[in-house]
Structure 1
């Protein structure tokens, strides 16, 4: 197996290469002006490790996969085309009103509560670019008012004259009956062939989002259209870069649904947050291989801290209506919580509370933290880590970046020590304590929101800064056991290498499995099975278009279920592919009943309110060979710890004064090594900080366990 996987983050571009029986990890700073440059630098480093050229490697690998933040950055910077929206008469204000919640979506709880300063984000589609057309389809899909085609042609002409560079069509109830939206597409192609307008995309809402909800479906399609151009040119430039180096196979793009596909089968909206989702997929694979049970996956990079849940038993956590940037959308996205906490998070004085606030603003890769000596003028978490003694100025990122302690000292003294009357080390400790507690609170909130306790989970910590802050985060959570997985610094890129080619199609439904009024079970099996077959057909066509053999295609049925009219939905992954008998219905209800009780406590179930399915989802996939994670539990094997390569004075949050701390190199990651803290283990890709009261145990494939021994 030979494969290249890349995760392009806000600060670093991570590369993971599978070369036969060798696994190679590398990093480079992200080059936002041209993503290919950072990719080439990271790949060239991996090629030197393997002992081959870039051209030779790309000629032999079976695939190259990308996960990128390009779409996220485009939304933040508002880089996109002028969009025109065509909607049903009477629905012109649906998008501008944004369900009356547009001022708060995408903001923190504190910002949402600040009503006097509430402000809606600058609209992607201004109201003067919205046109209405006379047509109407009801909730059952029956046509109430035929599409007025003459009116439609006038509205399209108005939008074209107004400078629309992309058109979105979002009619009411089009997910039930898309006939009118499809007719719009036919008329647009007839009246405006390519030689007249060029490449003006027309997007139909029912093809982007398959669930009901006019606002979220419209916003999903609008955002897809907004990102279409920048994603097309950005990813195409990456593909051209591969072609220039001799790679001839299709480039694969990671989706936020937990799968991947070829570039020509990828919607722009599916790429948002695809990097962190790759890490969650890797955590799921690792948990299955090593039988870890429940895992909370946490990725601390240079810009953000991403949190995802992997629950024993295969329960899938999707955001049914995730918020991307400041807008609510309706796409099947693996659930992910993101905090603005990372190594590059800027620390600033909060004058109201006379304390330090870390993030969400980040110094990124350019200019980066002040200690990078690239022009950064703000104190960051990495600056504090350096001054506390955790980082080696001459051996950071394998010597790729030389750190300047003097610059870190200067910005912290000027912007934090003086206003807060603190000495340098006190200020650095306050930064670390604050960012660790912020991340711990984020993890605790995420778990308890879904009905879990932190004690029920293994804390999986990865990313370039994850093992550095793991003990501090676990201390805030009250957790005494942490796992840093194999290839921790590029774990998300590793996950991209494990993903199967997968497409998700879903359909809204109102299927009552148990009617609380009539006490009857569902019996219309033909209707249910027809919906499943239709979703399977769509997924099969997607994969066949990409050259996948039909006999290799598998399907997974997922159902979003609830009791009666409860707002809480639970996703049930079932091994049933069709409903044939009442016994199948009872089996499905029992599976939902058990899953609900596991999450919210036995006895919380409410079958007397009825049981219904709101969404049918089919995942169509072709499995691939994945990284084989060995048994990474510590076991009984013990080998003598290597001699430290040095020592230095480190400062820890709960200890006064400096502590002489042993420093180890990558030899400490040999399976069976046990080291009691305090200790610092510096490798070419990340730093493991073993705080006082913790024990470090190295496991197979470079994995490491942290166990609290002073509790």
Structure 2
């Protein structure tokens, strides 16, 4: 296997190269103005370790895969085209009203508790860019008001004259019968051929989201259209960069569904949060290969701290109606919780409680933390880590980013020390304690919300800053063991190469498996099977178009089910691909009953109210080879640590004064080496901090356990 996988984050661009039996990591600052520059530098870093030129590597590599935050950044900065929206007559206010939830969605918990002071997000599509079209399809898909084509031409002309650079069509019940949306696109191309308008994109809502629910489907299509131009040019630039270096195979893009596809088969909306989701994919592989059981994936990078959960058996949690930025959308996305607690997160004085608040604002890579000496003026978590002695100013990021201690001290004194009436070290300790507690609280809240206890999980600490804060997170969380996995600093990039080529298609349905009013079971097996076959056909066509063979394709059927008219839906993955008899219906109900009990507690089921399927979902995929992980359990007699390469004066939370701390290099990552804290292990890619009262134990593939003594 020869593969390049890339995670383009808000601060760093990570490159992971699997080259036969060798795996190497590359790292560079993200160049937001041109992502290809950061990729080239990161790839060159990996190539130097393999003693190859980038051209030699790309000429012989099997695939190049990207996970990127480009779409996330575009939403944050509101950089995108002017979008126009066509809706069914009478539904002009569906998106602006936002189901009366627009004030709260996408806000932090404290902000949601202060709704009177909350503000709606600035709309991507203002009211002046929404036009109603005379047409109507009912819930069964029957057109009882034919599409008025003259009206369509007039409304499109009004939007184009109003400056629309992208168009969205969102008609009522188009997921049941998309004929009217498809005809609008034909009319648009008749009126405005591509050579006249430079190929203004038109997004049809039924092709972005297959479920009913006009608002969520509309926002999904709007966000896809808004991101289309940014993703087209950003990823297009990356593809041209690969072509210029001799790589002529299709470029692959990771999706937030946990799969990947070629660039020409990727919707812009599918790329949002694809980087952190790739880390969860790597965690899933690691848990399976290394027999870790339940794991919590925690990625502390330069911009954010991302949390994902994978329970034993490979079950991932999905959000089927996630909130992206401030909008509810209708796309299946691997469940992810993001906190503003990265290395670049800015620390500021909180006047009301006279303490420090960290994030969500981040210094990113440009200008970066104050210590990067690139123009950043505000103190960050990385500045605090430097002032506490944890980072080597001359050997950060393998020496590529020299750190300026004076700049970090100046930012801390100017913005925090005076307001807090603390000295420099105490202010830095407060930042360390606050950020560790914030991350621990995020993990605890996420697990307990899902009905789990942290002690039943292996916590993975990865990302550029994960091993640096692992002991602090574990201490605040009250757990005694935490694992920094193999390739921890580029673990999400590793995961970008460990996902399958996959497409998910879904369809709303009204399938009553058990009707309590008539005491009858579902019998229209043919209608159910037709729906599944249609979704399989769409997935199969997607994959065959990308060069996959029909015989390679596998399918997984998922159903969103509920009791009676409950609002809560539970996703059930079933081995049944078709319903053929009542026995299959009963087996499906039993599986739902069991899954519901696992989620909400045994005895909470209520089959007497009826059992219903609301959504059919088919995942079509082709399995890909993955990086193999070794058994990471601690075994054998520990080895003594090598001689330290130096010592540094470090300050630790809960300990007075400076502590003379030994510093080790890559030699300390030999399997079996055990080191008692305090200690620092500095490698070319990251820093492992062993705090007092903890021990460090290196295991296979460079992974490290932190254990409370």
TM normalised by structure 1 equals 0.98
CA contact (8 A) 1:315 1:573 kept: no
Counterparts of 2:682 and 2:519 in 1: how far apart (Å)?
Answer: 64
Q: 1:567-624 CA distances to partner (integer Å, 9 max, x unpaired)? A: 3322222222112222222222222222232333322333333322222111111111
- In structure 2, C-alpha distance between the alignment counterparts of 1:336 and 1:308, rounded to whole Å: 5
1:174 matched residue in structure 2: 174
Distance 1:225 1:533 in 2: 29
Report the Cα offset of residue 207 of structure 1: 0.4
C-alpha distance after superposition, 1:371-392 (max 9, x if no partner): 1111111000011111111111
Q: Distance in 2 between matches of 1:575 and 1:15?
A: 37
Contact 1:487 1:702 in 2 (8 A): yes
Q: 1:623 is matched with which residue?
A: 623
Distance in 2 (alpha carbons) for counterparts of 1:429 and 1:611: 54
Superposition map of 1:406-425 within 5 A = 406-425=406-425
Q: 2:439 is matched with which residue?
A: 439
Q: CA shift at 1:658, angstroms?
A: 2.1
Tell me the residue number matched to 1:17. Answer: 17
Residues 611, 477 of structure 1: CA spacing in aligned structure 2 closer, same or farther, 3 A cutoff?
farther
Larger mean Cα displacement after TM superposition, 253-262 or 438-447: 438-447
**Which residue does 2:369 correspond to in 1?**
369
Higher mean C-alpha deviation, range 91-100 or range 115-124: 115-124
Q: Does 1:284 pair with 2:287?
A: no
Q: Which residue of 1 aligns with 2:610?
A: 610
Instruction: State how many pairs are aligned.
Output: 709
Q: Secondary structure, in 3 states, of the residue corresponding to 1:359? A: strand
Q: CA separation in 2, counterparts of 1:221 and 1:479?
A: 43
Change (3 A) 1:213 1:383: same
> Which range is displaced more, 462-471 or 451-460?
451-460
Change (3 A) 1:615 1:314: farther
2:696 counterpart residue number: 696
Q: CA deviation at 1:684?
A: 0.7
The Cα shift of 1:637 comes to: 5.0
1:637 and 1:548 mapped to 2: Cα distance?
48
SS in 2 for 1:180: helix
SS in 1 for 2:614: strand
Aligned residue in 1 for 2:378: 378
Q: How far is the alpha carbon of 1:563 from its aligned partner? A: 2.5
Distance 1:533 1:687 in 2: 51
Q: Unaligned 5+ residue runs, structure 1? A: none
Instruction: Work out the CA distance in 1 between the residues paired with 2:209 and 2:96.
Output: 19
Is the 1:220–1:331 contact (alpha carbons within 8 Å) kept by the matching residues of 2?
yes
Aligned to 2:490: 490
User: What is the Cα deviation at residue 148 of structure 1?
Assistant: 1.4
Q: Is the 8 A contact 2:193 2:199 kept in 1?
A: no
Q: What is the CA–CA distance in structure 1 between the aligned matches of 2:589 and 2:703, rounded to whole Å?
A: 40
Residues 339-389 of structure 1, C-alpha deviation per residue, up to 9 Å, x if partnerless? 111000000000100000011111111111111111111000011111111
How many angstroms does 1:60 deviate by?
Answer: 0.2
Query: Corresponding residue for 2:467?
Result: 467
Kept in 2: contact 1:316–1:571 (CA 8 A): no
Moved more, 579-588 or 671-680: 579-588
> What are the residue-to-residue correspondences of 1:433-582 with 2, within 5 Å?
433-582=433-582
- What is the DSSP-based 3-state SS (H/G/I as helix, E as strand, rest coil) of the residue aligned with 1:258? coil
Q: Deviations over 1:289-317 (max 9, x none)?
A: 11211111110000000111111134331
User: How far apart are 1:660 and its partner, in Å?
Assistant: 2.2
Please tell me whether residue 58 in structure 1 is matched to residue 58 in structure 2.
yes
Residues 5, 493 of structure 2: 8 Å contact kept: yes
1:389 counterpart residue number: 389
How far apart, in 1, do the equivalents of 2:382 and 2:519 lie? 61
Work out the CA distance in 1 between the residues paired with 2:468 and 2:373: 21
1:318 maps to 2:318: yes
Q: CA deviation at 1:522?
A: 2.4
Who is 2:132 aligned against?
132
TM-score with structure 2 setting the length: 0.98
Within 2, Cα distance between the matches of 1:597 and 1:31? 48
- Following the alignment from structure 2 to structure 1, what is the Cα–Cα distance between the partners of residues 437 and 293? 25
- Contact 2:384-2:431 within 8 A present in 1 as well: yes
CA contact (8 A) 2:288 2:314 kept: no
Question: Mean alpha-carbon deviation: is it higher for 2-11 or for 603-612?
Answer: 603-612
**Which moved further from structure 2: 312-321 or 10-19?**
312-321
1:659 equivalent to 2:664? Answer: no
CA displacement at 1:640 relative to structure 2: 2.8
Q: Deviations over 1:257-315 (max 9, x none)?
A: 11111111111111111100100111111111112111111100000001111111343
Residue 74 of structure 1 corresponds to: 74
Structure 2 unpaired stretches of 5+: none
C-alpha deviation, 1:446, in angstroms:
1.4
- Give the aligned partner of residue 196 of structure 1: 196
> Is residue 452–residue 599 contact of structure 1 (8 Å, CA) maintained in 2?
no
Equivalent-residue separation in structure 2 for 1:557 and 1:480 (angstroms): 39
Task: Pick closer, same or farther for the CA change 1:485–1:516 going to 2, 3 Å.
Answer: farther
In 1, the alpha carbon distance for the partners of 2:130 and 2:10 equals: 34
Aligned to 2:249: 249
1:642–1:594: structure 2 CA closer, same or farther, 3 Å change rule? farther
Mapped partners of 1:455, 1:591: distance in 2: 28
Asked if the contact 1:301/1:342 (under 8 Å) is kept, the reply is: yes
Partner of 2:237: 237
Q: Give yes or no for the alignment of 1:101 onto 2:104.
A: no
* Pair 456,600 (structure 1): closer, same or farther in 2 beyond 3 Å: farther
- Single out whichever of 511-520 and 500-509 deviates more from structure 2: 511-520
* Counterpart for residue 336 of structure 2: 336
Q: Distance in 2 between matches of 1:297 and 1:145?
A: 51
Measured after TM superposition, the shift of residue 671 of structure 1 is 1.2
Partner in structure 2 of residue 117 of structure 1: 117
SS state of the match for residue 556, structure 2? Answer: strand
Give the stretch that moved more between structures: 666-675 or 90-99: 666-675
Shift in CA distance, 149/605, structure 1 to aligned 2, threshold 3 Å: same
**C-alpha separation between the residues in 2 aligned to 1:116 and 1:533?**
48
1:229 Cα deviation from its structure 2 partner: 0.8
Report the CA distance shift for 1:520/1:472 in structure 2 as closer, same or farther (over 3 A): farther
**Counterpart for residue 635 of structure 2:** 635
CA displacement at 1:154 relative to structure 2? 1.2
- In structure 2, the CA distance between the partners of 1:312 and 1:520, relative to structure 1 (3 Å rule), is farther
In 1: Cα distance, 2:331 partner to 2:225 partner: 14
Q: 1:570 to 1:293 in 2, by over 3 A?
A: farther
Query: How far does residue 638 in structure 1 lie from its aligned partner after superposition?
Result: 3.1
Counterpart residue number, 1:159: 159
Deviates more, 1:390-399 or 1:651-660: 651-660
Alignment partner, residue 226 of structure 2: 226
Partner Cα distance (1:202, 1:637) in 2? 64
Separation (CA, whole Å) in 2 of partners of 1:198 and 1:373: 42
- SS of 1:498 mapped into structure 2: coil
CA–CA separation in structure 2 for the residues paired with 1:597 and 1:158: 53
Q: Write out per-residue CA displacement over residues 434-463 of structure 1, whole angstroms, 9 at most, x where no aligned residue.
A: 111111111112112222222221111100
Does the C-alpha gap of structure 1 residues 393 and 277 become closer, same or farther in structure 2, counting only changes over 3 Å?
Answer: same
Residue 316 of structure 2 aligns to a residue in which SS? coil
**Conservation of the 8 A alpha-carbon contact between 2:513 and 2:585:** yes
Greater shift after overlay, 449-458 or 331-340? 449-458
- In 2: Cα distance, 1:480 partner to 1:522 partner: 51
Residues 193-229 of structure 1: per-residue CA shift (max 9 Å, x gap) = 2233221111110001001110110111011111111
Aligned residues: CA RMSD: 1.3
